[in-house]
Amino acid sequence: MSEPQRPNERSPEAEPWSARNAEQSQVKTEDVPDWSAELPGERGKSTFAQRLKAVVLEALERARAGLSMREDNFFLLLSVIIGLYAGLAVVCFRIAIDYTRLWLLGSGINPGPIRVVLVPTVAGLLLAFIVLRIFPRVKGSGVTQTKSAVYIYDGYISFDTVIGKFLTCALAIGSGQSLGPEDPSLQMGAGIASALGRRLHLSREKGRLIAPVGAAAGLAAAFNAPITAVLFVIEEVIGTWSAGILGAVVLAAVAAVVVMRLFLGAQPLFQIPPYSMAHPTELLSYAALGVLGGIMSLIFVKLLRWVRARTRRLPRWTLYLQPALAGMMIGGIGLKFPQIMGAGYEYMDQAMHGQFLWRTLVALALLKVLATSLSISSGAPGGMFAPALFVGAMVGAAVGTLQHQFFPGAAGPLGAYALVGMGTLFAGFLRAPMTSVFMVLEVSGNYSIIVPVIISNAIAYVIGRRFQQTAIFDLMTREEGLDLPSMEEGREQTTLLVENAMRKPAGLILKASDLVADAYSRLGDMTEDPLLVSYDTGRWTLVHKSALQDAARAGKGGQPLSQILTSGRLPRLHPDQSLDLALRLIRDAPFLPVVHRADARHLVGLLSLDDILAAYRRASIIKSGAVE
């Protein structure tokens, strides 16, 4: 029953959704399938069944039309569904990882030496084949791919990627590669969202935003922490706090976490004792932890870059062997330190409960950095969140152990140090300072720890930024040949303000209550035209000299200026507003008044289009000079 395309039919993407929705919400007879149409030769044989079928279908169509909703509401509902699907996917993913580990490495803490070396090696070969031959898109970071979907592919992530990530990451992490499940979870969430968005014919704008919604859901389920996921997606993927997306992201994250908790338990990721500061001087040790966390982040980034650079230079055929070689080396390390294999959450927990000596903790941190660099560089799919948290936990626990040893009177719970250490790596390595703070609070369910967390994370972040300008995700993106916006650089960009461009008010400023004759007499030989006129209410407008002259000649000299003013209200600016806003407001006005925030009648400057352009020009000269 196909129908030729109507000539005036528009592409759904070409029109705003509200318009389409309005059309769709009305039942159009031509859209209803004409099931009751009589076929040739069957004229007059219309049966009761056919008529009933038609009635039912029409009723269904009417019901559908009744259910149709505005795009925004639909988007929110879809976010919840995406959250639920992402949550389910992540639950299954976690189960798959655990079962893979059980099957491949056994249930013991220390698998046998042959198994430790052989399993990651053989699994590495298999991984390479699957990644290169079957699911080539699963390679790389989920964060980067989600950003690519948002900024390049209009929110498109193929569903193959979801399946591929699920299978290959479960195999990689379960076989002992030093990788984490959070990044793949994030991408699986984004992929599910993208697939649903496509299936539901979302508009281009919403379709682009749907991937971050799914990403937040996936990450929230992986961390069992909705706030962290929302912040991370805002901080690292979207980059702006937009009301349009925030609600959807939050709903999806919460829905995913609810599913996660329903199936895998509601306990926080780590259980640490309630934190209370033993002594104010304890903050010094947290500051030291911040420094160490920052240094460890730097080591991590530099080593990862170094190893990646070397593996990328190897011939293409070695791609089939790289994951196996990485697996073999990790297995070699695992003979002595099996803790570095896999995501390592159980060992983070053990470190928090004081089960390692400080020397072991330092060794584990350094070896995990090495193992993760090998895994990531070899092309094995998986994320860097868990390894970063592992390294942070070990560094934190080492500092805590030393603090307990040398200053027992000023030492809080060891778990608190490990937790803060995780935050420092999140801030210094992943470069998500806001997320790092909330992540620590949320995964521990302990809000009293906030002061040490802020101190340590801020120090680690500053060190990370000072000695490694580009964040790890941006580095990896650029190495893959993509030019995605860097959220960190965006945050750091200085915004030009009105005060940077305005000039001092000069010339005659009239009042609306002035008489026309007086105003005209004060004109003298003034060259400025038009002139600013202020009202007592703080409103501003412009008057042309010619208008004054005409009014005076027309005998309206005794009237106040307000009687003859024809031009409308002039937008007013404040010195602290951005030049971007000024540009949008200025339109065709020759200049705009810049007024005091406390008194709109108090003129502090004038801003014209030339002033704005001059300010941008100056700024670009300064920036290029700094770059050179």
Partner 1 sequence: MEFSQVCPKCGRTIPQGQIVCHCSMRPRRYWLHSRETILLLCVLGLVVAFGITGFAAQLYHGRRAELARSWFDRGNAELKAGRAAAALSDFRAALVYAQRELSRDEQQQYELNFVRALIATGNSDAARSYLLDMWDRAPGNSPVNLELAHLTARMGNDADAKRYYNGAILGVWDQDAGDVLRRRLDVRLELYHYLMDRGEKTEAQAVLLAMATAIPPDPALHAQVGQLMLQAGQPQQALQQFQQALRLDSRNYEAMAGAGEADFQLGNDRDAVRYLENAIREDAQQKRRPGARANDSGSRETEQAHVVENLAIAQATLALDPSRLGLDPRERARRAIRDYDAAVIRIESCAKEHGIALPEPSRNLTPFTDAASDELAEVTLARHIEQLDPLMEFIFEMESAATENCGPPADATNAAIVRIGTRTHASHT
Binding site for partner 1 (CB under 8 A): 1-3, 5-6, 9, 11-13, 24, 31-33, 57, 60-61, 64, 67-68, 74, 77-78, 81, 84-85, 88, 91-92, 95, 98-99, 102, 107-110, 152-156, 158, 196, 198-201, 204, 207-208, 259, 263-265, 267, 271-274, 346, 349-350, 352-355, 404, 413-415
Q: Which two tokens stand for residue 407?
A: 């200053």
CA distance 517 to 551: 9
Q: Decide whether 9 or 525 has the Cβ nearer to partner 1.
A: 9
Question: Could you tell me where the beta strands, DSSP code E, fall in 394-508?
Answer: none
Classified as helix, coil or strand, 314 is: coil
CA distance 209 to 162: 18
Q: Decide whether 62 or 602 has the Cβ nearer to partner 1.
A: 62
The burial of 611, by beta-carbon neighbours within 10 Å (0-12 exposed, 13-18 middle, 19 or more buried), is given as buried
Please say whether the beta carbons of 117 and 147 come within 8 A: no
Kind and range of the H or E element at 402? helix 385-406
> Which residues are within 8 A (CB) of 63 and not within 5 positions of it... i.e. 6 or more apart?
none
The burial of 389, by beta-carbon neighbours within 10 Å (0-12 exposed, 13-18 middle, 19 or more buried), is given as buried
Rg (CA), the chain: 32
Please say whether the beta carbons of 378 and 325 come within 8 A: yes
In the bound complex, what is the minimum distance in angstroms from residue 167's beta carbon to partner 1? 15
Q: Decide whether 353 or 539 has the Cβ nearer to partner 1.
A: 353
Q: Decide whether 204 or 596 has the Cβ nearer to partner 1.
A: 204
**In the β-sheet with 509-511, what is the strand arrangement from edge to edge?**
509-511, 531-534, 540-543
CA distance 414 to 395: 11
Q: Decide whether 232 or 347 has the Cβ nearer to partner 1.
A: 347
Q: How many residues does the chain have?
A: 628
In the bound complex, what is the minimum distance in angstroms from residue 67's beta carbon to partner 1? 5
In the bound complex, what is the minimum distance in angstroms from residue 486's beta carbon to partner 1? 20
Q: Decide whether 329 or 351 has the Cβ nearer to partner 1.
A: 351
Q: Decide whether 46 or 267 has the Cβ nearer to partner 1.
A: 267
Classified as helix, coil or strand, 109 is: coil
In the bound complex, what is the minimum distance in angstroms from residue 136's beta carbon to partner 1? 14
Q: Decide whether 140 or 428 has the Cβ nearer to partner 1.
A: 140
In the bound complex, what is the minimum distance in angstroms from residue 245's beta carbon to partner 1? 17
With the CA atoms of 294, 295, 298 and 304 taken in that order, what torsion angle do they form, in degrees rounded to the nearest 10? -120
Q: Decide whether 119 or 272 has the Cβ nearer to partner 1.
A: 272
In the bound complex, what is the minimum distance in angstroms from residue 271's beta carbon to partner 1? 7
In the bound complex, what is the minimum distance in angstroms from residue 193's beta carbon to partner 1? 12
In the bound complex, what is the minimum distance in angstroms from residue 21's beta carbon to partner 1? 10
Q: Return the residue matching tokens 């639909």.
A: 74
In the bound complex, what is the minimum distance in angstroms from residue 394's beta carbon to partner 1? 16
